[in-house]
Structure 1
Amino acid sequence: MIVETYPIALKKFMKFTKTKSVTLAERIGYDVSYISKWINGAKLPSSRAIERVNEDAAALFAETIEKLDRREDCCRYFSFPDTTEDLTFAISDYLSRAYRTSLQNGRTEKSKKSWPVRIVTSHQKAAHFLKDLFRKKIPTLTGKEELVIYGEFFDFYDDGFWSYLDVPSHYKRLRIRIGLDKEKLRRHPKYVTRLYAVLNRFMDAEFTFYDFSALSDANLIILKDQFVIQYSLQSHRGMMMCSYIDDPAVVHDIYERFGVHHTPKLLTHIQSPWNDDYGYRTSFYETSRFCFFLTNGIEYLLPQEVFDRLISESSADRAGNIERLCITWEEIIAKARVSLIVPTPSFMRYLETGHIDLTDVQYTLTPSERIEHLKVIARTLTQSQCITLSTMHLSPAFLSYKEANLSFYSNYRMSFFKKNTLAMNSQADPFYIIVDKELDKMVLDYFDSMTKASYCQPCNGPELESKIRIYQHMLEKITSLAGA
């Protein structure tokens, strides 16, 4: 078993292979000053980079050993089995274990004097502890941290867990991995509102949902490289106990053992479906039926002059995409069935700001363009019986949509969510793709059913045209507010 520290192990391999610090530095992409600090024990590689550093260093050492024809000497010197075939892996593993030994030995005096595990009992104390913990930790995050939760999303919702992450500060990008019970959602379709509420609240987070059956073998909350919490969550009573561990070596080992690296995803974040696969845009719009829940104005049915200005102000590639999208929507208007649902507060916000995301294009309509946009929508609704518009009026049961910034798009074959980029503070991915077909159908059925609910009022073309004429003066004032 490795008991030596990382500096000793690294120095031994460098001495055995006669590798110079500058050679190692060039191979792993670090300045030579870092290598000196690692060898002298003044500093260790970061936990984020250690895996790559060890793999690259091990590859260099293994290549050198093979060139020197010292494989047998190496196995004897470092106590590797004679049957070792992958020398690079063996060296990398040796360095990794030595690194964990250094982490274990490198605890501060404060941590040495404290208990390695903290245990909190009772729901009230556990809730207070978790809330306080996240309020302290979240402001210190640097971005792309990973929070892995071995638990079920709706159970955590019922326990009030998501409010613990609702820290009143500049929220940092955080990747959250958690299980979701599709059967629970199937029994309670309105739980889609809970799912939506959390995704909409944490615009700078990047959620990935996994089938809960794959995450039901441990009750763990892991903030990678920070801490591990093991909890006891009881139905109708909430979290009754949790134990807290922040020892770096233990946290690393638990994450490696319980990570969700190869677990199938139900829903995941993505930078853009259009950038990663332009065929996605074609396949998405080639169907004849759509359901759109729009929280950033009605980004389609734009006046032709808006399309013309977008094309003239864009690069050649982007202009081509916009032109194709314009043609696509002309075809959709002519033959497709489209259901548009717009929350009233989101629509009023659009009238004031004029901001839209046309797929991946940011654009702000002028006040006159916004009014013309309304007229185009009214004319389209009058001319086409296949396009319907419903405005969603809020009630106490649907306050999740009061500050709605997350739109939903479906062609009844595939669906995705898109964030309002104006509501984001970080470089988090702005899209969520629903990967699982069952989850896709349940979410779509819920949004599709909104048009039949009492809180959604249909708006026809003649009615909208009449309102535009009556409130023309007020609309001009509203659309001019942002520029005032």
Structure 2
Amino acid sequence: MSAYGTLLKTLINFSGSKLSTVAEEVGYDVSYISKWCNKAKLPASKMAPNINRTLANHFSHEILKHEDLSAFAKLFAVDVTPETLNSVIYNLLKENYKESSREAANDQHAHGIYETRVLSLANDIYEFFDHELPETILSYNEPLEVLCTLDVCRFITNNVLDAASHIIPEHEINVKIGLNTETFFADSPLYLKQLYYFINAHSHLAFDFYDDCLMNSLNTIIVKDHMAILCALDQYSRIQTATVITDPEKVNQIYIRTLPSFRVTNLLLHATESDEFYQHGYRTDFYARDNYQIFLALGFEYLLPVECWDSIIRTARERNKDEFMAQLVGQLQITWEEIFEKNTLDFYVLKSSLLKYMENGEIIFTDVVYHMTPEERKLHIQKVLDITKKNPNIHFYVIDEEYLPNVEHLLRTSVFNNRKKLFLKIPERYHTKVGPHFYSVLSDRFIKEVSEFLDDLKTKPYCFGYDADGVQKFADKYGSLVNRMIDLSAFKINK
């Protein structure tokens, strides 16, 4: 038993807590708490601080409730008051965790012990994939490469609505994963939505999606240098057994054998960073076409008034320290003015994001995070009205998320499509240190299916369309209210 396990078991017994209660408090299965107490297992290092804080809150509450403070001080030979009890317990847990972690690392290093585990019980398999594996991946203090030959369709239809993670890794995690195109395109409207939700739920991970034609029988997950999981599936593609290998030499042997299954020619969607995205003129080529479908999950960076262009260029040059981006913004100003005069554009926007834009003015123009001033926002609205009068081929579709319960938190990725090229943009990435900025879509079939999906979206009861006349009527009816909202936001900022 580890020092941490001994302490935890002592605290549980002393406070009169039930294992089930402790498990509920920290959000783990009872079997995990038992292993921490009795089998020298430890929580993942990434999760340990939160777990120890939760345990300290629970134990201090129970000890004070039962008026056992004096007995606690005597048992642990510490000076403690009701006010300091929580921090004393937390520090005890933290220090014992450190000691046990060092002992475990030294023991493994000294003996070269790498345990191979075979999981066959349904509960053990669930706990491993639902808790232990993601926590272990987050605990590695380095960038990671993960190969997953399992069909992503099995993941995107499995509780994806609850999958959004609030824990952001400190390092880049790239996941290469297979996708069964036959299954996917057999019901593309369903799977397109689920894949979109999946990307949003895991926006801090960089996924590369591959046609799984070369890997659909391998059933392997590999964390390079760290872990390989070999899965046996039943006829319904459910995992019946999982063999977990942690010997780095064996793991990398499996990695080398598996990597050739992920061929570049089978790449469907590719997580892309800004430099890679711009180096071959992708964005310029994208806007050299017509018939656009653009879904914006944050703000509205199109049809901008000329009065704000210099400010955006200056922001790119001064705040972003990026002369290339400043030049790109200037080029796009000219390109977009021509596009908006005559091209066909369908803009899809969320009702909530429009309201938020009215309040804070945030847009992400190319890679420049910019906050429109209240006056610029008003000029922006007028610019939209002026342009749509000149070009009747511009339409707006407002999506009301109130009609889409339980998925509003998974509508955070923008979509840019011209029916020939398609890319996704992750606004959240511009406020975090990890995750991709973009996804480029390399499959013509994907682009076709997305184009049809967005066309069909116009017919949904939660999607409200506005042509030039509709936009003007809306402005006539609600313009004064919108202006008051913008003025109020300025008052809040100044206050």
TM-score normalized by the length of structure 2: 0.69
Query: What secondary structure sits across from 1:428 in the alignment?
Result: coil
1:449-460 aligned at under 5 Å gives the runs 449-459=456-466, 460=470
- Structure 2: which 5+ residue stretches go unaligned? 1-106, 318-322
Q: Deviations over 1:268-320 (max 9, x none)?
A: 01112775435323321111210001011111111111113223455464443
Q: CA deviation at 1:178?
A: 0.6
* Corresponding pairs, count: 377
Alpha-carbon distance in 2 for matches of 1:434, 1:457: 27
* 1:457 Cα offset (Å): 0.5
- Give the equivalent residue in structure 1 for 2:11: none
Q: Aligned runs of 1:195-214 on 2, under 5 Å?
A: 195-214=195-214
Cα distance in structure 1, aligned partners of 2:376 and 2:276: 26
- C-alpha deviation, 1:118, in angstroms: 1.0
Residue 468 of structure 1, aligned match among 461, 479, 483 = 479
Q: d(CA) in 2 for partners of 1:167 and 1:322?
A: 33
Preserved CA contact (<8 Å) 1:409 1:416: yes
Q: Determine the structure 1 residue equivalent to 2:371.
A: 364
Q: Name 1:145's counterpart in structure 2.
A: 144
Question: Conserved in 1, the CA contact under 8 Å of 2:343 and 2:393?
Answer: yes
Q: Is the 8 A contact 2:171 2:434 kept in 1?
A: no
SS at match of 2:307: helix
**Counterpart residue type for residue 447 of structure 2:** D
Change (3 A) 1:217 1:255: same
C-alpha distance 169-292 of structure 1, shift in aligned 2 (>3 A): closer
Letter in 2 for 1:217: S
The answer (yes or no) to whether the contact 1:130–1:164 under 8 Å persists in 2 is no
* Residues 421 and 441, structure 2, Cα contact 8 Å, conserved in 1: yes
* 1:305 correspondence with 2:315: no
Determine whether 1:392 maps to 2:414: no
Compute the TM-score of the two structures, normalised by the length of structure 1. Answer: 0.71
Deviation at 1:243, TM superposition (A): 1.5
Which residue of the partner structure matches residue 263 of structure 2? 262
Q: Does 1:186 align with 2:185?
A: yes
C-alpha distance in 1, partners of 2:171/2:289?
38
Distance in 2 (alpha carbons) for counterparts of 1:354 and 1:402: 20
Amino acid of the structure 1 residue aligned with 2:486: L
Q: Tell me the equivalent position of 2:129.
A: 130
Q: Does 1:348 align with 2:350?
A: no
Question: Equivalences for 1:80-99 in 2 at 5 Å?
Answer: none
**Residues 430 and 437 in structure 2, CA contact (< 8 A), matched pair in contact too:** no
Say which of 382, 386, 389 aligns to 1:379. 386
Give 1:428 shift.
3.2
Aligned to 2:232: 232
Secondary structure of 1:413 counterpart: coil
Shift of 1:138: 3.3
Q: Distance between the aligned counterparts of 1:164 and 1:243, measured in 2?
A: 24
Q: Is the 8 A contact 1:138 1:172 kept in 2?
A: no
2-structure distance, mates of 1:386, 1:199? 31
User: Structure 2 CA distance, aligned partners of 1:195 and 1:406?
Assistant: 12
Conserved 8 A contact 1:367-1:479: yes
Equivalent runs, 1:112-123 vs 2, <5 Å: 112=113, 116-123=115-122
What is the correspondence of 1:159-174 to structure 2 with a 5 Å cutoff? 159-160=158-159, 166=165, 168=167, 170=169, 172-174=171-173
Give distance in 2, aligned partners of 1:256 and 1:159. 29
- Judge conservation of contact 2:293–2:418 (CA < 8 Å) in 1: yes
Q: Which moved more, 1:385-394 or 1:470-479?
A: 470-479
Report the more deviating stretch, 358-367 or 213-222: 358-367
SS at match of 1:137: helix
How far did residue 455 of structure 1 move?
A: 1.2
What RMSD over aligned residues (CA atoms) do the two structures have, in Å?
2.8
Task: For residues 358-383 of structure 1, give each alpha carbon's deviation from its aligned partner in whole angstroms, at most 9, with x where no partner exists.
Answer: 12322221122223222322333343
Aligned-pair CA distance for 1:324: 2.0
CA distance in 2, matches of 1:304, 1:473: 23
Consecutive unaligned residues in structure 1, runs of 5 or more: 1-105
Counterpart residue identity of residue 327, structure 2: G
Distance 1:275 1:181 in 2: 26
Matched residue of 1:217: which SS? coil
CA contact (8 A) 2:149 2:221 kept: yes
Alignment correspondent of 2:216: 216
Post-superposition offset of 1:332: 1.2
Q: 1:292 to 1:396 in 2, by over 3 A?
A: same
Per the TM alignment, residue 180 of structure 1 is displaced from its structure 2 partner at its CA by 1.0
